[in-house]
Every structure is written in C-alpha cells, then in structure tokens.
Structure 1
Amino acid sequence: MPDSASDSSPRASKQKSPGGIMENIRFLLTLLILAVLLRSLVVAPFNIPSESMLPRLLVGDYLFVAKWPYGYSRYSFPFGLAPIDGRIPSGAPDRGDVVVFKTPSDNSTDYIKRVIGLPGDIIQIRGGQIILNGTPVPRVRVADFIDPVTPNSPCRPEPGLNIVEETATDGSRICRYQRYRETLPNGRSYDVLDLGNVPFADDTPTYVVPQGHYFLMGDNRDRSADSRYPAQVDGAIGMVPSENIVGRALVMFFSTDGSAEWLKPWTWPGAVRWSRLGGGF
C-alpha cells in the first residue's frame, strides 16, 4: 500500500500540471483585462514633462486623471481603438478644469492644460490679460512664486523676462517668478505666471471657439504652446476637439525633483517633494 500511494502521487501531480498552467494564464489575462478597464474607465496615471503648467504643476509631478467626469470617447481607451463616435455618455469640461487630452495634430500625444474657452466663446489676449466674450478676466498680482532650483526645475532667466535666480537664506538656489491670481466668470480661481511682454503670446487675434471644441491654455502663459497657436506635431495644439479630451486632473500621487540616482536607493527619499503629494485640482 505505501508503494502504491507513493507511485500515484507524482502521476496525479503530472496530470494536474496542464490545468494549473491554464489557471495561471486565465488569472493573468483577468488581471490584464481589469487593468485595462481601470485605466480606461476610472483613472490613469500621467506625469508632467514640461513647465507649461507652472506654478500648479512642476516637472516631475505624477497625478491621477479621472476618466469618468466627461464621459468616454475613443481616446479614453488604449490606442484609440474603441469604436465610439463623440462621447458616451455626453459630458463636458467647465472653465478652469485641468484636463489631459490627445493633441489634435497626431491624436496620440498626451498634453495637459487648463480649459479657458467653451464652444462659441470669443477670446482674445490683450497685454497678457484674457478677454472672454468682451469682458476682461480679472487677475491680481500676488506673492512671487518661488521654485527651488533642482534637476527637474532649472531656472532659465532670459533678458526682458521676469525670472530671477537668487540665493535663499539657507544658501540654496531658487527661481523667482511674478505670479497672478486669475478668476473666471464661474468663480474658478487659480495662479498663473506672467514672465513679461512676449510678442503674440500677450497680444493675440480674436478667436471664436468652434462648436465641439475647447480653448486651452497653460498656466505658465509665456512658456505654453497652447490654443493661441495653430496645431502642429510636438508643438502647439490649436482648438481641441471634445473627443480628444481624455479626463480631468484628479490628485497628485508622487513628485520628484530629479535629484535621485536609481543605483543609489538612499538618495530616493530626499528627492521626493513630500509636500506636494495628495494635492487636488
């Protein structure tokens, strides 16, 4: 009896092996499907690669983008493969929302900007101030924005621009920008940077936002390739179609100043901008 029992155990194990492999494959496929659905329908991560949304967003910030607020379009899904025309269910961003979208020039590159103009709006920039449907959008001077100089946040002063690199009281290097508080007609307020008098960026033609499109701008007004300029690959965005909007910025979950070295784990904690984690929009 003992010999018979020991002989049957390996055979039983071998017989179960194909089933075990298939169970593992089914489990991995289920995880993959759930991950795709989560990223497509609920939230998706996004990192900030440029300074166009200073002071709210810094290079090296990581945030979650909510997919549900405006409904879903083909670009809500990987590679834009979903056979959706328009948005299902229909939804629309409001002025002041910070949104991630696919650039109209290639329908594949992710950008992040703030919604300023809705369909049918008439917009012009005069002296750096937004004129929305004939009414200037109020903006007031507030305290300078101070950004520590780090690998992800270098200071790039230019002649004629209001950018100053200086030494803080603790001996560290900082970058100082002129900051303004802007308030849209719906009451949404946020901070913007004005680096000085920049041709065209501060004085533009009059734009009429087409139906089904939005006028988006970066908060770092003089270093943002946005709806003030015609759409071009790896550049400005022009007017953004509704279906290109992927989702709304939700919450910051990570931020790094870029000073960490991957092969030196002890440098990782010091590179994290802890105070920025958890910030909403």
Structure 2
Amino acid sequence: MKKDKNEGAVVWENVRALFYAVVLAVVIRTFAFEPFHIPSGSMIPTLLIGDYLFVKKWAYGFSRFSFPFGWYIPYFQGRILDHNKPELGDIVIFRAPSEDNQDFVKRLIGKPGDHVQMKEGVLFINDKEATLELVGEYSTVGDDDDTLQAGEFTETLPNGIKHKIIKQIEFGYASHDNTPVFVVPEGHYFMMGDNRDGSDDSRGQRKIGFIPYDHIIGTPAFLFFSTGGHIAIWEFWKWLTAAHYSRIFKVPH
C-alpha cells in the first residue's frame, strides 16, 4: 500500500512538472521568443529559404496576434506596452488582413502618412529616392529549389538605413517596377520584400495591402539554424553536410 502511494506521488510530480513546463513554454512563446521558419525567397538576400529564427515578441508591444489563435480569438483590441514603434527599414513579422492566420516577414518601407512609389524599379518614399549601389551577382536556392541568380544591390533608405536587395528582372520590366503612389493610411504600414521581383507584399493591394499596426507580431532576434533550403529541420542526419553554419546566430538587418 505504501509502495502504491509512493508511485502515485511520483506520477503526480511528473504531471505537475510537465504542466509547469508547458505553461513556461507558452509564456516564453507569447511574451519573449517565438520560432519562425522562412519557407520562401521573398526576403533574399537578407533571409534565405530554410532559415530558422527567433522573433522578439516584445519589440513593439503586444496585440491579440501575439497570443495563440489570436487570428480567431479577439483577446483585446489595439496594442499594449508598445513603447517602441516600428521604424523605416525594420524587418517585421506580421499577419496580413486577407490571411490573418499566416505569418509573413518583410521590410517596413512606409509609415503612416508616407507616400511610397516604385519608378523603373527604384523605390521612392515621400518623393525621395532610395539610392542603389551595385554589389555584384548573387546566387542561392530559389523557391522552386533551383538556382536563383540576380543582381545584388545596397539600397539606402531616406533615413540613412542601408540594406541589401536583389533584382532578378531588368529595371522597369518587372510587374511591380512601376506603381501608383501609395499613401499609407493612419495606423497602417507598407511592407516590401528584399527580393524585389519575387515578393508578394504591400505593392499588391489585393493580397497583402497595407498592414494594420495591431497585425504586427515582432522583429527577428537571431537565426538559430539554417538548412540552406535543401533539407527539413527534422532531417537531422543531413545537418552536418547541408546546414549553413555561418548563418547560425546571425542577426538579420
């Protein structure tokens, strides 16, 4: 009888430990770091297919989309603890109004009230050109698991932030190389991918469009793994030969 009581106590302790572990994991995922996988090439060369990163959930405060099933459960409206606002050039993880159960990652190109336009493949923000400097040719794994080759450029935004982009199609000939002037509404942001000819973003108003402030989830903290787009993270027997070790712990910017 005493043995049964001891076994029952052990089982209860294990159940309680498991419960605490689950609660801790949910708290960390909700308020601190959430893992995120890069499935497509829209942010090449900054983020590659097969990159795995942690998202800083507290970077811009919290909204209902910070919580599990936030796309379905209206925990609350707006944002809380948003001491820092998203800035031009930030890499942002968000939900689109048309697909609010799916995560997206793009670069913030327009803030509320900004005028954004593409002219011959060159970005203009409030009539100021984001200057481009050719870096060279870039090659990596593309969305179809084939080799993607494109020109790589350093883009300088009007606020002085520099980052890399790629251009696959000659300037002026891609579908989003020439656009009308987009006026970013109050409480919304304009997002674009660094792979300018391979990104569904705010230039396509029917799919992504302007992103409401409360749909923003966070910003990347660092990469914790990278498969190079060739393998899944669970294919551990391929890690030694296929992983991109140079990208691990890299901070995207």
Tell me if both proteins adopt one fold, taking TM over 0.5 as the criterion: yes
Q: Is the 8 A contact 2:120 2:173 kept in 1?
A: no
Aligned 1:34-73 pairs, distance under 5 A = 34-73=24-63
Identity over aligned residues, as a percent? 40
Q: Is the 8 A contact 1:214 1:241 kept in 2?
A: yes
Q: Counterpart of 1:146 in structure 2: which amino acid? A: S
Q: Counterpart of 1:202 in structure 2: which amino acid? A: D
Note the C-alpha offset of 1:132: 0.6
SS of the residue aligned with 1:68?
A: coil
Counterpart CA distance in 2 for 1:116 and 1:262 is: 31
- Which residue, out of 175, 179, 182, partners 2:152? 179
Counterpart CA distance in 2 for 1:227 and 1:151 is: 20
Q: Counterpart of 1:187 in structure 2: which amino acid? A: G
The equivalent residue for 1:79 is 69
Aligned 1:193-204 pairs, distance under 5 A = 193-195=166-168, 196=170, 197-204=172-179
Q: Are 1:216 and 2:191 matched, yes or no?
A: yes
Counterpart CA distance in 2 for 1:152 and 1:38 is: 34
Q: Is the 8 A contact 2:223 2:247 kept in 1?
A: yes
Q: Is the 8 A contact 1:260 1:270 kept in 2?
A: no
The equivalent residue for 1:248 is 219
Aligned 1:268-279 pairs, distance under 5 A = 268-279=239-250
- Which residue, out of 11, 15, 22, partners 2:12? 22
SS of the residue aligned with 1:79?
A: coil
Q: Is the 8 A contact 2:222 2:249 kept in 1?
A: yes
Q: Counterpart of 1:268 in structure 2: which amino acid? A: W
The equivalent residue for 2:201 is 226
Q: Counterpart of 2:115 in structure 1: which amino acid? A: I
Q: Is the 8 A contact 1:152 1:258 kept in 2?
A: no
The equivalent residue for 1:154 is 146
Q: Counterpart of 2:251 in structure 1: which amino acid? A: G
Aligned 1:59-138 pairs, distance under 5 A = 59-80=49-70, 81=73, 83-90=75-82, 91-138=84-131
Q: Deviations over 1:22-75 (max 9, x none)?
A: 222221111111101100100111111111111111111111110111000000
Note the C-alpha offset of 1:103: 1.9
Counterpart CA distance in 1 for 2:180 and 2:228 is: 37
* Structure 2 unaligned residues grouped into runs of 5+: none
Counterpart CA distance in 1 for 2:197 and 2:151 is: 12
Q: Counterpart of 1:29 in structure 2: which amino acid? A: F
Note the C-alpha offset of 1:94: 0.7
Counterpart CA distance in 2 for 1:71 and 1:150 is: 33
Note the C-alpha offset of 1:89: 1.1
Is the radius of gyration larger for structure 1 or structure 2? 1
What value does the CA root-mean-square deviation take over the aligned residues?
2.2
Q: Counterpart of 1:275 in structure 2: which amino acid? A: S
Note the C-alpha offset of 1:136: 1.1
Counterpart CA distance in 1 for 2:234 and 2:89 is: 41
Note the C-alpha offset of 1:17: 3.3
Q: Is the 8 A contact 2:139 2:149 kept in 1?
A: yes
Q: Deviations over 1:245-274 (max 9, x none)?
A: 111011111111344599986533101011
Cα separation, partners in 2 of 1:103 and 1:115, compared to 1, 3 Å: same
The equivalent residue for 2:137 is 144
Note the C-alpha offset of 1:201: 0.3
Cα separation, partners in 2 of 1:260 and 1:146, compared to 1, 3 Å: closer
Counterpart CA distance in 2 for 1:35 and 1:181 is: 39
Q: Is the 8 A contact 1:60 1:152 kept in 2?
A: no
Counterpart CA distance in 2 for 1:263 and 1:84 is: 36
With 205-214 and 78-87 compared, the bigger mean Cα shift is at: 78-87
Q: Deviations over 1:94-151 (max 9, x none)?
A: 111111111211311001000000011011110111111111111111222132x589
